[in-house]
Amino acid sequence: MSRYEFKSTRRIEFADTDLAGIVHFANFFRYLEATEHEFYRSLGLPLHFGGDSSHGWPRVSARCDYKAPLRFGDEIEVHLVVREKRRRAIRYGFVVRRLSSDGDAKAAIAAFGDMTAVSVAKDAETGRMAAVAIPDDFDAAIDQAPHGIWEAAGGASD
């Protein structure tokens, strides 16, 4: 179980498509986030965001570069790489691939994703969310990927 890299697979559902016959571009962001959360779960990290929780991971930026369309029924792989771990934020890179019918991971790249989540907690005095250091359990479980991992995952260099 890697501390800086994770892969999830999923099948494209009918409701994810639009009238152009392909996955609506906004839905790629749901795939990225779901993979981030599965990464946390794979590390045994808590997923108690929002609601009564005093800690959360709001996004400060999110980006996708679309390379090829995805269609209903496609099986895809979302490959997450921890590109940067800062004191109060984590930046993830993602490579989204359409798996060929024989599960070939070398299949065509559909998109590159980039997402930065910031660690926030409710300030006891003001009641407002403010950036805080990454919680200890996340800090201990997640590492920044060593040099070359993003490129090895197929990620485009910036």
User: Does the annotation mark 18 as catalytic?
Assistant: yes
Helix, strand or coil for residue 56? strand
Among 3, 4, 7, 18, binds a copy of itself (CB under 8 A): 18
SS3 call for 139: helix
Answer for which of 49, 130, 133, 143 binds a copy of itself (CB under 8 A) is 49
Q: Which is nearer to a copy of itself, 62 or 99 (CB)?
A: 62
Q: In the bound complex, what is the minimum distance in angstroms from residue 78's beta carbon to a copy of itself?
A: 13
Report the nearest approach of a copy of itself to the CB of residue 33 (Å).
6
Q: Are 78 and 28 in contact (CB under 8 A)?
A: no
CA distances 136 to 39, 68, 82, 87, 142, Å, are 17, 39, 17, 11, 10
Check binding of 108 to a copy of itself (CB under 8 A).
no
Closest approach of a copy of itself to the CB of residue 24, in Å: 5
Closer CB to a copy of itself, 85 or 122, in the complex: 122
Beta carbon of residue 30, minimum distance to a copy of itself (angstroms, whole number): 5
Active-site hit among 18, 65, 104, 137: 18
Q: Which is nearer to a copy of itself, 19 or 148 (CB)?
A: 19
Distances (CA, A) of 109 to 19, 36, 47, 66: 22, 19, 29, 9
**Strand pairing class (55-56; 120-122):** antiparallel
* Residue 34 within binding range of a copy of itself, rule CB under 8 A: yes
Residue spans of beta strands (DSSP E) within 57-134: 59-66, 75-85, 89-99, 109-118, 120-122, 129-131
